[in-house]
Amino acid sequence: QVQPVESGGGLVQAGGSLRLSCAASGRTFSHYAMGWFRQAPGKEREFIAAISRDGGNTYYADSVKGRFTISRGSARNTVYLQMNSLKPEDTAVYYCAAGRSYYSERYYYTESDYGYWGQGTQVTVSS
pLDDT in tens, 4-60: 999 999 999 999 999 999 999 988 899 999 999 999 999 999 999 999 999 999 999
What does the mean pLDDT of the chain come to?
Answer: 96
| CB-based contacts of 95, cutoff 8 Å, min separation 6 | 6, 36, 37, 38, 39, 45, 117, 118, 119, 120
Whether the per-residue pLDDT at 115 is higher than 90: the answer is: yes
Q: Are 103 and 53 in contact (CB under 8 A)?
A: yes
Please give the angle made by the CA atoms of 79, 82 and 45, to the nearest 5 degrees: 75
Q: Are 125 and 16 in contact (CB under 8 A)?
A: yes
From the number of C-beta atoms within 10 Å of its C-beta (0-12, 13-18, 19+), residue 95 rates as buried
